A and B are shown apart, each in its own frame.
Chain A
């Protein structure tokens, strides 16, 4: 029993879904939609994306669905992602664990020329009290209209369940700009978005509501806006804003909390050395009852594309839950090494060292225990 509780607890802390790599934007193509069906990236790859998957891998096998064994009709695309991880975590208790991360199947059906129905179905943590019915759930399902049927540019409009489009959208959900930056794990919800994408700029506006069907991760209604300009081929700058009103307490004097997020993003790809630098910084104003709190969140990542299908990321994270108060900030350094072995298989080593309030020690009033992890992840793209 003790071992079972321990295992459940570890999975609770570390399991998760991973999506697209924003490192590939600018280094492989100008926009996420150049390689993905969804305008913000992630999930299913289009033909160009499949070619990139083949090119970057060491052993470049057939990148199509199940290695091209099944020929799908032109109107249908299928795919999936499966991930599991094993490794060592210290936070500060030490443990070794192996756990599943993701098991998702994707489908996209095109109809009437300009419309898509996109569906993501897979394992997710079940809803408390409704476990049998919610062990498998659809993280995303939406209908999308796109202006140009044959490329990833122009106007897009969609309605359904998806993640509000905001910021750099790192695949690694422990990056602070995901975890504390408005798009934590499993925070997809119902909304509508209107998006416009051109090679040198793009803009996304999403309105969203708290999921009315199952207990949501984000108990918020809100609006998210993200715009990105690419003044030169290998650089981009972006602006982001999000306003959310949280459904915190139905019988309280102050039933809502409000969060106002604003930030900037930037990317630069140096083709010569094969280096991509990208970063996102957010300022967050939180209103709870009559109190206001200012927070800061940031992630900066340097990625190096190496031979033999290897990509290495060095990332620095910063989160301060109250800029006025000393000792409530945390910093992390991540080193991730991806090895794209075939078009479908990726092995990923993820490591992190995290400190509370910089170099302050565990026994100082402004410190706290540091933490770290080393995890080996296996990823199969269907």
Chain B
């Protein structure tokens, strides 16, 4: 019997498109990925809230992302530029996250790489890249703008300076509109936090640092 069933399961496994066009949206991610895999009764459900983390409802998830926090958008710890280094992705990819002795999440079964890729793409959000017409050399010549990124091609020592804009990272769970007078940091940009818990209009671009809803 298993000679028939197991190949059938593997054939089913081969189904699907390699292009992941699932929505980069907090509510969708909660209902299809985080709730089924992390929001189990005795884990990150609303009623147990293991380690103060709630992932079985969208309301709980966005509160956890912003207030726990599992994501950071302050300029000195800006997850959209490097989502693999965010607390959320660290918890689902490292064997012993933050050396706490708790273990990789989910504890009973791993998350598919495709879901982790989707979480990273959601954290980053849509990206625009503008050439600043300047060159840079890491450790030697900095880009003219603090917010520029020095993009060095493989095998070369100098690169081009780009202004990379993360317009809508972590849509639906980026900020809390009731916190910091409705303002939030999106890297160096001080922005309004919308009622959808996403970044809205830019209020000002900070000169050096943006933390906890204000330029420092």
Which residues of chain A have a CB within 8 Å of any CB of chain B?
2-3, 5-6, 8-16, 89, 91-93, 95, 125-128, 174, 179-180, 184-187, 214-217, 219, 246-254, 257, 277, 286, 288-289, 291, 293, 296, 300, 302, 314, 316, 318, 320-331, 333, 354, 356-360, 362, 364-371, 373
CB neighbours of A316 from chain B (8 A): 2, 5-6, 9
Bound-state CA distance A331–B101 (Å) is: 28
Stretch at the interface among B44-52, B125-133, B142-150, B179-187: B44-52
Q: Please name all residues of chain B whose beta carbon is closer than 8 Å to the beta carbon of A293 when the two chains form the complex.
A: 22, 32
CA A330 – CA B108 in complex, angstroms?
13
> Given contacts A356-B110, A358-B13, is CB(A186)–CB(B27) below 8 Å?
no
Check if B109 sits within 8 Å of A330, measured CB to CB. Answer: yes
User: In whole angstroms, what is the CA distance A336 to B100 when docked?
Assistant: 33
Q: Are B112 and A291 in contact (CB under 8 A)?
A: no
Is B134 engaged at the interface, CB distance under 8 Å to the other chain? no
- List 30 contacting pairs A-B, 8 Å CB cutoff, sorted by A: A3-B101, A6-B103, A9-B50, A10-B107, A16-B41, A91-B104, A91-B106, A91-B108, A93-B107, A125-B48, A128-B49, A184-B40, A184-B41, A219-B56, A252-B27, A288-B31, A289-B27, A300-B5, A322-B22, A324-B16, A326-B16, A328-B114, A328-B115, A329-B15, A329-B16, A331-B9, A331-B10, A354-B109, A359-B10, A366-B112
- What residues on A are CB-neighbors of B42 within 8 Å? 11-13, 15-16, 125, 185-186
- Contact indicator A12/B18 (Cβ below 8 Å): no
Task: Quote the shortest CB–CB distance from B63 to chain A (angstroms).
Answer: 11
Query: Complex formed: what's the CA distance from A6 to B51 in Å?
Result: 12
Kindly list chain A residues whose C-beta atoms are within 8 Å of the C-beta of B210.
none
Give Cα A364–Cα B13 distance, bound, in whole angstroms.
Answer: 14
Query: How many angstroms from the CA of A10 to the CA of B102 in the assembled complex?
Result: 8
Q: Which residues of A contact B140 (CB under 8 A)?
A: none
The minimal Cβ–Cβ distance linking A268 to chain B, given in whole angstroms, is: 11
B100 partner residues in chain A, CB cutoff 8 A:
2, 5
Q: Chain A's interface: helix, strand, loop or mixed, by majority? A: loop
Contact B32 A286 (CB under 8 A): yes
Is B22 a contact of A185 with CB atoms below 8 Å? no
Cα separation A246 to B57 with both chains bound (whole Å): 9
B216 interface residue (CB < 8 Å to A): no
Asked if B137 CB lies within 8 Å of chain A CBs, one says no
C-alpha spacing A365/B41, complex, angstroms: 29
Closest to A8 in B: B50
Kindly provide the distance from the CB of A121 to the nearest chain B CB, expressed in whole angstroms: 17
B101 CB contacts on chain A under 8 angstroms: 2-3, 5-6
Across-interface contacts of A216 in B (CB, < 8 A): 46-47
Q: Report the bound CA distance from A328 to B14 in whole Å.
A: 10
Q: Verify B112–A357 contact, CB threshold 8 A.
A: yes
**B23: interface (CB < 8 Å):** yes
Chain A residue numbers with a CB within 8 Å of B12 are: 296, 318, 320, 329
Q: CA separation between A357 and B14, bound complex, in Å?
A: 7
B69 at the interface (CB under 8 A from A): no
**Beta-carbon contact of A365 and B117 below 8 Å:** yes
Task: Please determine whether A326 and B103 come into contact, CB atoms closer than 8 angstroms.
Answer: no
Does chain A have a CB within 8 A of B111? yes
